[in-house]
């Protein structure tokens, strides 16, 4: 029985038996006197449990003000392993949160979770050092935009965006937010754009401002959203999908065969130890970037346009090398 389960059982015993003695509690919990004393003290001081000792009954009961009421400890449905998992998840979210927006709102929950584990501030800080996420080429989204967009997604309300495309053109958009996407260290908003009457993916770092509107967002089924925006390769969406046929060398295959490049990819081992990957895409930009990571170890079989684009990238890269 772990500590959290003991807390639950102590409360259950007091509630069901009325005024169990110290010996009865020890027998039920199978712990030492020192452990039971610490548990009772922790429940009173840290969990605000109204437990008092009744000298006449020689036992423990809830205080007079709580007679007939039900006292509930916060988070008792979590055992110790589940608490560790929640703390790990908190740290992962914090690592994704470069503006500190999520951490600021989640900190009270984090404090309660560490309190349930019975660790002090130094121990809690040490826990967070044991999880590290490394992000490269991170693009920072404005804090106010992140909070506004997140609120719009949850509340299902429309947004007025001042948006700047990668080409530099500024525009004003009214959108119906559908979901937030975190991809390769950057945040995106998948939404229905009312100006272009279609689904679009907006980079949060390209938003100059975001304002919540009173109008309800256009309802869209998740399956419809996925069919429209998840067919592409990487972050690029929209358009008719094509299939890239790639063959990796035997050396590269040992690693690439364990990777998922796309949820709908098809793959197979070739007789000579190479690995063939067929992956859908709608825009070759990001696929070419990933192919260049395996330059010299991957052959593009089809389509011919992708093969030529890959060869051109290799020639351009080779031309940049010093003589």
| pLDDT for the residue numbered 14 | 84
What gap in Å lies between CA 273 and CA 249, rounded to an integer? 8
Buried b (16+ CB within 10 A) or exposed e, 215-234: eebeebeeeebeebbebbbb
Mean pLDDT in residue range 127-141: 65
Mean pLDDT in residue range 261-289: 93
CB 229 within 8 A of CB 237: yes
Mean pLDDT for all residues in the chain = 83
End-to-end Cα distance, the chain: 70
What gap in Å lies between CA 202 and CA 109, rounded to an integer? 30
CB 244 within 8 A of CB 304: no
| pLDDT for the residue numbered 75 | 52
Burial class of 322 by CB neighbour count within 10 A (0 to 12, 13 to 18, 19+): exposed
Residue extent(s) of CATH 1.10.10.10 domains in the chain: 3-66
Name which of 102-111, 194-203, 222-231, 253-262 the model is least confident about: 102-111
What gap in Å lies between CA 174 and CA 52, rounded to an integer? 59
The yes-or-no verdict on residue 119 having pLDDT over 60 is: no
CB 287 within 8 A of CB 233: yes
Mean pLDDT in residue range 126-132: 67
**CA neighbor of 284 nearest in space, from 318, 229, 243, 247:** 243
The yes-or-no verdict on residue 21 having pLDDT over 70 is: yes
Q: Which CATH number fits domain 242-319: 3.30.70, 1.10.287, 1.10.10, 3.40.50?
A: 3.30.70
Task: Concatenate the DSSP letters of all residues of 164-197 into one string.
Answer: E-TTS-EEEEEEEEEEEEEETTEEEEEEEETTTT
Q: What are phi and psi of 208, to 5 degrees?
A: -75, -35
Strand order in the sheet with 207-216: 198-203, 186-193, 170-183, 157-164, 207-216
Distances (CA, A) of 110 to 87, 125, 280: 7, 11, 41
Mean pLDDT in residue range 276-301: 93
What residues contact 236, with CB distance under 8 A and at least 6 apart? 281, 282, 283, 285, 286
The yes-or-no verdict on residue 94 having pLDDT over 80 is: no
Residue extent(s) of CATH 3.30.70 domains in the chain: 242-319
* pLDDT band of 7, cuts 50, 70, 90: confident
Query: pTM higher than 0.85, yes or no?
Result: no
What gap in Å lies between CA 204 and CA 187, rounded to an integer? 6
CB 233 within 8 A of CB 262: yes
What residues contact 257, with CB distance under 8 A and at least 6 apart? 248, 267, 269, 275
Mean pLDDT in residue range 276-294: 92
* Torsion of the alpha carbons at 40, 46, 49 and 55, rounded to the nearest 10: 40
What gap in Å lies between CA 135 and CA 185, rounded to an integer? 6
Task: Check residues 16 and 178 and name the one with the higher pLDDT.
Answer: 178
* pLDDT band of 141, cuts 50, 70, 90: low
Q: Which CATH number fits domain 143-228: 1.10.3470, 2.170.240, 2.30.30, 2.60.40?
A: 2.30.30
Q: Which CATH number fits domain 3-66: 1.20.140.10, 3.20.20.140, 1.10.10.10, 3.40.50.12780?
A: 1.10.10.10
| pLDDT for the residue numbered 299 | 96
Mean pLDDT in residue range 281-303: 93
- Using one digit for the tens of pLDDT, what is the confidence trace for 230-253? 878 877 776 788 999 999 999 999
Most confident of 52-56, 58-62, 174-178, 282-286: 174-178
């Amino acid at each position: 029985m772990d500590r959290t389960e003991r807390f639950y059982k102590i409360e259950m015993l007091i509630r069901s038996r009325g005024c169990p003695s110290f010996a009865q509690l020890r027998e039920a919990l199978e712990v030492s006197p020192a452990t039971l004393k610490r548990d009772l003290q922790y429940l009173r001081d840290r969990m605000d449990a109204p437990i008092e000792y009744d000298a006449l009954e020689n036992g423990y009961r809830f205080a007079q003000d709580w007679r007939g009421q039900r006292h509930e400890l916060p988070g008792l449905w979590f055992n110790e392993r589940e608490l560790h998992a929640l703390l790990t998840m908190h740290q992962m979210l914090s690592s994704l949160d470069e503006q500190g927006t999520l951490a600021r709102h989640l900190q009270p929950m984090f404090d309660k979770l560490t309190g349930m584990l019975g660790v002090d501030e130094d121990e809690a800080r040490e826990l967070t050092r044991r999880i590290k996420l490394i992000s490269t080429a991170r693009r920072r989204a404005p804090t106010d935009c992140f909070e506004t967009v997140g609120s719009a997604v949850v509340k299902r309300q429309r947004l007025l965006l001042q948006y700047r495309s990668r080409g530099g053109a500024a525009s004003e958009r009214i959108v119906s937010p559908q979901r937030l996407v975190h991809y390769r260290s950057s945040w995106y908003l998948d939404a229905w754009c009312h100006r272009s009457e279609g689904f679009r993916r907006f980079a949060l770092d390209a938003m100059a401002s975001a304002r919540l509107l009173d109008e309800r967002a256009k309802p869209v089924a998740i399956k419809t959203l996925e069919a429209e925006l998840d067919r592409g390769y990487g972050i690029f969406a929209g358009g008719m999908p094509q299939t890239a046929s790639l063959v990796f060398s035997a050396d590269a295959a040992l690693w690439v065969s364990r990777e998922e490049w796309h949820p709908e990819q098809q793959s197979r081992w070739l007789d000579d130890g190479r690995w063939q990957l067929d992956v859908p895409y709608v825009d070759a930009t990001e696929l070419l970037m990933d192919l260049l990571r395996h330059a010299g170890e991957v052959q593009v079989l089809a389509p011919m346009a992708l093969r030529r684009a890959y060869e051109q990238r290799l020639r351009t890269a080779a031309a940049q090398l010093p003589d």
